[in-house]
Amino acid sequence: MNWISKLEKKFGKYAIPNLMWYIILMYGVGAVLNFINGSFYYQYLSLDAAAILHGQVWRIVTFLIQPPSSNLIFVIFVLYLYYMIGTTLERAWGAFRFNLYFFAGVLFHVIAAVVVYLVTGLSLPLGTTYLNLSLYFAFAVLYPDIEFLLFFIIPVKVKYLAWVDAAFFGYAILQAFLPSYGGNAIYGVFYKANALAAFVSILNFLLFYFSSRNFKAHSPKETRRKAKYKNEVKMAKRSSVKAPNGAKHCCAICGRTELDDPSLEFRFCSKCNGNFEYCQDHLFTHEHIR
C-alpha cells in the first residue's frame, strides 16, 4: 500500500464529492467579478506572497477564483472542458484522489510563491491556469486514444494533444530564462510567474503519477478487465450451487430448495450458459449468464 492509499484509508471520508463543480462555480464568480471590476482580483484576491505574509491570508484560497480568460465565449468553452476532464478523472480515481491531486497542486503554488518571495523578494502572481492544464496530462494517461475535434472539425487523439500541452508547458518555463521575456522590466514578473506555475504544476503531476499505480488501473481497458473478472467469479459461484440436504432442486439466486417450500417450482434457463436452475421468483428476473 503506497502513501496515497494510506492517506485515502485515513482521510477518504473527508473528500469533497463533485469537486470540479465547485471549482467551476468559483471561476464563474471570478468571471463576473472581472467583468464588474477588472483590477479588484489583483488588488485584494490574487496569490500575493508579500500580502499573505503581512496578514492577508485569505489570498491562499481566493486566488483560485481567477477565470481562465476575460473573453466570455472562451471562458464558457474552457470551463466546459475543465468540467468534463475533472469529472471524468474523479469518476476514474474516486473523490479522494482527485481532491488530493487538485489541492496538492494548490499547495505547491502557495509554497512556491512564498519561497520565491522570501529568497528573491519577488512577489509572483501565480494563477491556476497551469494547474488546470496539468489535469489534461492525467486524462491523457487514462484515455490516450479518445479523440477530440480540433477546431470542431479535425479529430485528434488525446495523447497527441498531450504532447502539444507539454510543449506549451516547456515554452512557458523557457520564457523566464530568455532576455526578451524574463529580462523584460515590465512584463518579466508575469513570465516568471507563468514559468513557476508551469513548473510546480508539472511537478505535481509527476509526483502523483510516480507515487500512484492508479492511473493505468482506472483505464478503460483495465476497467473492462475487472468487470469481466467479477462477472466470471459471479458465474463460478452460481455454477457451484448444489442442492443441499439431498434436495433435487436449488435456485442459483436465493439457494432455496423444494425442501424449504414444497410449493416452489423450478426451471432451467435456456438463455444462460450452463445448467442453472431458478425458482419461480427468479426465473424471469435473474441476470442471464453468458
Which residue intervals of the chain bear CATH 1.20.1540?
Answer: 3-218
Which residues lie closer than 8 Å to 92 by C-beta, 6 or more apart? 142, 218
Helix (H) or strand (E) holding 268: strand 266-268
Q: Report the distance separating Cα 236 and Cα 220, nearest Å.
A: 24
pLDDT score, position 58: 92
The arithmetic mean of pLDDT across residues 86-111, rounded, is 88
Cβ burial of 266 (10 Å; 0-12, 13-18, 19+) is buried
pTM for this predicted structure: 0.68
User: pLDDT over 90 for what percent of the chain?
Assistant: 3
Residue type, 247: A
Per-residue model confidence as pLDDT tens digits over 178-219: 776 655 555 667 778 888 888 888 888 888 887 765 555 555
Query: Does domain 3-218 bear CATH number 3.40.50?
Result: no
Per-residue model confidence as pLDDT tens digits over 3-20: 777 887 888 888 889 899
- Closest to 129 (Cα-Cα) out of 228, 202, 181: 202
Highest mean pLDDT among 16-25, 86-95, 264-273: 16-25
pLDDT score, position 153: 75
Q: How many residues does the chain have?
A: 290
The arithmetic mean of pLDDT across residues 104-132, rounded, is 86
